[in-house]
Amino acid sequence: MIFNTPDSQHPPPTTAAGYGPFAERYYQRYVASPAPPKDQYGLPLSADYQVGPDDGLEMILGQRQEVLDAKIGLVGDELYQRQQLRENNLYRINQDQCAIRSMIIKMGEHVWDKSRMQLEGRIWDLEEEKRKAQESYFRDILFLKKELRESLVETMEERQKATLFI
């Protein structure tokens, strides 16, 4: 059975067995309409793309949904970057503490002079720095989490509107 039959508009396939890719006419109903151009963040460019008179409510709701999805993605990326930064900072602080503890161990248990006390104090300072890093991380992501929650609620509202109108 040969699906790709030759006609005047479409030449026969050039493969040796007579089989080849389907003709373009078979794909026409499955081709999606071109999407509006997007910027580097995946957001539609409003200056280049305008809603025409034949575009309906579905398209407007779809565009709103795309904007909300992009916003959620961007906030998620920022949260991830902040988490990675915090983990890097805590890792480096832990490395510094290990290095100081190694110096203390090399001094020996019997040595309790001024330099050892300074190293012990430095370990406590690094612990305080860890706590401050945790607090600043919490303050940093507090706003982002609030924005993410609001975006998720808006997304749910938009989906409910879409199911109501469609």
pLDDT per position as a tens digit, 28-38: 544 455 666 66
- For residue 51, is pLDDT > 60? no
Average of pLDDT values for 134-146?
A: 89
Task: Give the burial class of 114: count Cβ atoms within 10 A of its Cβ; 0-12 exposed, 13-18 middle, 19 or more buried.
Answer: exposed
Average of pLDDT values for 56-82?
A: 82
- φ, ψ of residue 38 to 5 degrees: the values are -125, 155
Where on the phi/psi map is residue 42: left (φ > 0), alpha (ψ -120 to 50), or beta? left
Structural tokens at position 140 = 């940093």
Q: How far apart are CA 85 and CA 91, in angstroms?
A: 10
Structural tokens at position 19 = 């089989």
H/E element, 80 = helix 57-107
Residue 13, number of CB atoms within 10 A of its CB: 16
Residues 39, 70 contacting (CB under 8 angstroms): no
What does the pLDDT look like over 98-119, one tens digit per residue? 999 998 888 887 777 888 889 9
C-alpha distances in angstroms, 139 versus 70, 79, 80?
Answer: 24, 12, 15
- For residue 54, is pLDDT > 50? no
How much is the pLDDT for 20? 47
Average of pLDDT values for 129-148?
A: 90
Q: How far apart are CA 93 and CA 137, in angstroms?
A: 15
**Local structure of 44: helix, strand or coil:** strand
Establish how many alpha carbons lie within 13 A of residue 164's alpha carbon, considering only the half-sphere containing its beta carbon. 7
How much is the pLDDT for 1? 45
Average of pLDDT values for 139-152?
A: 89
If you average pLDDT over every residue of the chain, what do you get?
Answer: 76
- For residue 23, is pLDDT > 60? no
